[in-house]
């Protein structure tokens, strides 16, 4: 039984039945059996299905957003746009998959030689709780449009949200079992990965769990895409537009209560503007309202689980004990639920906990840099390499720094985000492979060479 806990009040929600081993194998078999028919459809036929699913998501966006608020604490004003974004992703790949996967002619000694992109088979997507709809559809939409069938093993803390996704396919009239929901307890996941009918794996989650998934998939010679944690740096240079930078960096840090892999987690500010920038972000962060995620005026909901709340507080306490200054927040609330106050830590250095570990919550960390070179050095001083930001009015410098930062994506004078049109993923401890964009849709296809004399 999968039992979610409402992070707003700590009360358990209604249980959701999980599958036993035999039921799991049967459901994987359903998706595998559906592959033959689905791969035989053309892009136009697949597009009609994805467009119908998108329409169904939009029709239920308020109900699904409520489920996310109850299961993992996402404020309703963020949940509704997340469902919209998931629908947009489905529509985008309905419109662009055919062009992305068009045959590519290449010169050789043949009369004609080309590469054609064919689906691999049945995929397993292992998903986290922090963006239940968006993270599901950035896996599902390109994979399905490429002709694969998809098994979705969602996080056990969001079982109703996962079922809502499966219901959207059912209500939209999608062919049976092209997308199968797999409500599993975590220990059963290894069996699913090793099932010979699973052709490849997509995983989004922690670095430690990702290593286990990669090891299991590798032992079975199955490709996988890993989108793991991040401790994203954002550089604020002396010539930056500080007001705009403060607006965007605060948004990046606190959206989804700071529970985002690509949030701005280490804000590295050049010395000349360091003090002024702290004033600007403190003003903005101090105005944010924690509260019931079902209320439209709530800016920040609770942390999704108690263990995550307590670990975040440990990181804050260790950082303060090491010499950082806490200008906002930094305490465990006494009321029910798993809230954590908006926290601003300054005077943080590379030896401190909040610099070295990923902080998953509304904790902004400010680090002073002597100059640009020092800022770049600290930006790359991490095991992670997911996203990064740069704020400067010097375009040539920004482009140069973007090439030198070790990350999968860099935003210059803007927010680091995921977009169906652009590839997303990390390097180093943040994983490998890409989701989204023309690169992402080609992760789970067979790039087959055809040579004709």
- Which residues are designated catalytic? 227, 261
Residue 420: name the closest of 395, 437, 404 by CA: 437
Instruction: Give DSSP secondary structure letters for 5-39.
Output: EETTTTEE---BPPP-HHHHHHHHHHHHHHHHHHH
| Ranges assigned E (strand) in 154-265 | 179-181, 198-204, 224-227, 233-236
Burial of 329 (C-beta count, 10 Å sphere; 0-12/13-18/19+): buried
User: Measured between alpha carbons, how far is 4 from 12 in angstroms, rounded to an integer?
Assistant: 6
3-class SS of residue 211: helix
DSSP string, 42-93: -HHHHHHHHHHHHHHHHHTHHHHHHHHHHHH---HHHHHHHHHHHHHHHHHH
Torsion angle of alpha carbons 46, 52, 54, 59, nearest 10°?
A: -170
């Amino acid at each position: 039984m999968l039992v979610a806990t409402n992070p707003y009040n700590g009360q358990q929600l209604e249980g959701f039945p999980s599958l036993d081993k035999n039921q799991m194998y049967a459901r994987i078999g359903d998706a595998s059996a559906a592959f033959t028919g689905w791969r035989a459809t053309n892009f136009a036929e697949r597009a009609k299905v994805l467009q119908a699913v998108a329409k169904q998501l939009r029709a239920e966006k308020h109900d699904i957003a409520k489920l996310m608020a109850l299961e993992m604490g996402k404020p309703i004003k963020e949940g509704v746009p997340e469902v919209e974004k998931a629908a947009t992703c489905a529509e985008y790949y309905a419109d662009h998959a055919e062009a992305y996967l068009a045959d590519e002619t290449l010169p050789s000694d043949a009369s004609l030689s080309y590469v054609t992109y064919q689906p691999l088979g049945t995929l397993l997507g292992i998903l986290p709780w922090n963006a239940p709809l968006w993270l599901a559809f950035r896996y599902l939409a390109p994979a399905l449009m490429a002709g694969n069938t998809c098994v979705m093993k969602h996080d056990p803390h969001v079982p109703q949200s996962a079922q809502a996704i499966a219901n959207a396919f059912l209500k939209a009239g999608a062919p049976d079992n092209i997308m199968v929901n797999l409500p599993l307890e975590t220990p059963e996941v290894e069996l699913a990965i090793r099932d010979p009918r699973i052709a490849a794996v997509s995983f989004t989650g922690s670095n430690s769990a990702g290593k286990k998934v990669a090891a299991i998939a590798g032992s079975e010679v199955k490709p996988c895409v890993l989108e793991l944690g991040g401790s994203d740096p954002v550089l604020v240079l002396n010539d930056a537009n500080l007001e705009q930078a403060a607006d965007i960096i605060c948004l990046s840090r606190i959206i989804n209560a700071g529970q985002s892999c690509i949030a701005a987690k280490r804000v590295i500010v050049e010395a000349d503007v360091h003090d002024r920038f702290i004033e600007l972000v403190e003003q903005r962060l101090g105005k944010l309202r924690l509260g019931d995620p079902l209320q439209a005026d709530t800016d920040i909901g609770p942390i999704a689980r108690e263990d995550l709340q307590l670990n975040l507080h440990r990181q804050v306490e260790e950082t303060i004990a090491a010499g950082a200054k806490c200008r906002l927040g930094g305490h465990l609330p006494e009321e029910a639920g798993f809230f954590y106050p908006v926290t601003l830590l300054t005077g943080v250095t590379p030896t401190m906990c909040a610099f070295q570990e990923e902080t998953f919550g509304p904790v902004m960390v400010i680090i002073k840099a002597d100059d640009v070179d020092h800022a770049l050095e600290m930006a790359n001083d991490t095991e992670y390499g997911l996203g990064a930001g740069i704020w400067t009015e010097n375009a040539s410098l920004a482009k140069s720094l973007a090439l030198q930062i070790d990350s999968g994506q860099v935003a210059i004078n803007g927010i680091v985000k995921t977009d169906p049109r652009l590839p997303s993923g990390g390097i180093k401890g943040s994983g490998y492979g890409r989701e989204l964009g023309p690169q992402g849709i080609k992760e789970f296809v067979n790039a087959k060479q055809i040579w004709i004399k």
